[in-house]
């Protein structure tokens, strides 16, 4: 029976991968026509890949129907905030292993910045904002690296998910924030159950929807600190829940300056935490390779201490450029510090026994950014990619992850 089960499971995996390849045929064909040349490391993960064995096993169990949920948290900077890269990865994971919901969403537009296009958080209240990317945030940020606060007595959040319906909402907030409730006639309301904590409120709905309105007020004198961090949307189905946290301009040092971020991230219960930082660490006249290494090590260790049951995975940033003006014209040069940050990330991964994906090499190594720009996959600043570029990078990352997963499945049989 066990051999029959393994054979059926392998057949299902081959079928899933074949479907994914067929769906992405146009992307693959486009990539083959580009002048961008990827390193051979693009196809697999590196470092201590066996540290992912528990994650790969959970993925197998999801396919077999014996596991309810696999939770992934992806942390980063502006490359993550826009949602193009993580959106591509999330959709592929959920297509192949089940969709457990949209995951973490943050009020980034209320904050005054860009947010992914697959959700919207709207509020009529007057908000002030704080971000860990600022040297001195006006008040403490939360698990997503940001926070919003208001002095209004009646609070309203209208939340809409454009891709994935949901029937559960978890609100993340200050410990003395007013309670948020869904007040429509079909709402069960807020519950103080196992999933709620001092800094999170689990709200259960009695039907699946793509939008919800949450309300709160300051009538309770013990809960008059209306500071909110974000929301998680789930649907109660088995599959992958893919959270992403990305803040424009953030570096390892920014996250280190707000240690409560790593602590509060434990509220998400992630099985796998992926860290995609390093680009912003490579800029600045005072760049120090030693300081870069220390910042990376400090943040990763903080994640490990606060999330002891999670597997930590690192990715290196791809090459970027610096800009200077010469005789009235912008001149772009390769940012040499980026490769030093990349080396430090790999060094930390090796020292701590972590798995990593070398995006720097996979994207083409030195000289890659100008090639991506030439092929209309990178923006003019030679730091950020286009929507198509991020989608391609997400596709490359998922391919490397799945190739390593398939090696585990073959080995496990």
Q: Per-residue pLDDT tens for 279-313? A: 999 998 899 999 999 999 999 999 999 999 999 99
pLDDT at 134: 82
Q: HEC string of the chain? A: CHHHHHHHHHHHHHHHHHHHHHHCHHHHHHHHCCCCCCCHHHHCCEECHHHHHHHHHHHHHHHHCCCCEEEEEEEECHHHHCCHHHHHHHHHHHHHHCECCCEEECCHHHHCCCCCCCEEEECCCCEEEEECCCCCCCCCCCCCCEEEEECCCEEEEEEEECCCCEEEEEEEECCCCCCCEECCCCEEEEECCCCCECCEEEEEEEEEECEEEEEEECCCCCCCCCEEEEEEEECCCCEEEEEEEECCCCCHHHHHHCCHHHHHHHHHCCCEEEEECCCHHHCCCCCCHHHHHHHHHHHHHHHHHHCCCCEEEEECCCCCEEEEEECCEEEEEECHHHHHHHHHHHHHHHHHCCEEECHHHHCCCCCHHHHHHHCCCECCCCCCECHHHHHHHHHHHHHHHHHHHHHHHHHHC
Whole-model pTM: value is 0.89
- With bands split at pLDDT 50, 70 and 90, how would you rate the model's confidence at 84? very high
- With bands split at pLDDT 50, 70 and 90, how would you rate the model's confidence at 326? confident
The pLDDT of residue 123 is above 70:
yes
In this prediction, residues 362-369 reach a mean pLDDT of 94
- With bands split at pLDDT 50, 70 and 90, how would you rate the model's confidence at 330? confident
């Amino acid at each position: 029976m066990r051999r029959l089960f393994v054979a059926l499971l392998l057949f299902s995996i081959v079928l899933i991968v074949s479907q994914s390849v067929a769906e992405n045929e146009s992307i693959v064909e486009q990539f083959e026509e580009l002048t961008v040349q990827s390193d051979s490391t693009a196809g697999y993960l590196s470092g201590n890949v066996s540290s992912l064995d528990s994650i790969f096993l959970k993925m197998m169990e999801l396919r077999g129907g014996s596991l309810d949920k696999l939770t992934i948290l992806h942390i980063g900077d502006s490359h993550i905030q826009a949602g193009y890269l993580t959106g591509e990865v999330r959709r592929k994971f959920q297509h192949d292993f089940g969709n457990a919901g949209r995951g973490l969403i943050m009020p980034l537009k209320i904050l005054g910045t860009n947010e992914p296009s697959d959700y919207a958080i709207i509020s009529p209240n007057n908000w002030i904002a704080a971000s860990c990317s600022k040297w001195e945030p006006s008040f403490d940020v939360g698990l997503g690296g940001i926070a919003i606060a208001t002095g209004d007595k009646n609070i309203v959040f209208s939340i809409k998910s454009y891709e994935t319906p949901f029937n559960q909402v978890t609100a993340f907030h200050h410990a003395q924030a007013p309670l948020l409730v869904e007040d429509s006639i079909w709402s069960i309301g807020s519950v103080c159950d196992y999933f709620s904590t001092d800094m999170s409120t689990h709200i259960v709905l009695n039907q699946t929807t793509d939008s919800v309105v949450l309300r709160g007020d300051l009538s309770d004198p013990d809960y008059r600190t209306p500071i909110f961090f974000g929301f998680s949307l789930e649907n109660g189905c088995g599959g992958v829940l893919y959270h992403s946290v990305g803040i424009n301009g953030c570096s390892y040092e920014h996250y280190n300056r707000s240690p409560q971020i790593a602590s509060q991230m434990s509220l998400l219960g992630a099985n796998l935490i992926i860290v995609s930082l390093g680009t912003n660490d490579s800029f600045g006249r005072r760049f120090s390779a030693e300081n870069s290494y220390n910042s990376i090590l400090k943040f990763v260790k903080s994640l490990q201490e606060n999330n002891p049951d999670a597997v930590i995975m690192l990715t290196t940033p791809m090459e970027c450029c610096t800009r200077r003006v010469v005789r009235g014209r912008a001149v772009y040069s390769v940012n040499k510090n980026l490769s030093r940050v990349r080396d430090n990330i790999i060094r930390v991964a090796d020292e701590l026994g972590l798995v990593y994906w070398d995006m720097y090499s996979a994207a083409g190594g030195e000289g890659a950014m100008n090639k991506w720009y030439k092929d209309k996959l990178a923006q003019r600043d030679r730091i950020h990619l286009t929507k198509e570029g991020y989608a391609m990078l997400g596709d490359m990352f998922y391919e490397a992850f799945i190739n390593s997963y398939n090696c585990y499945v073959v080995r496990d049989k």
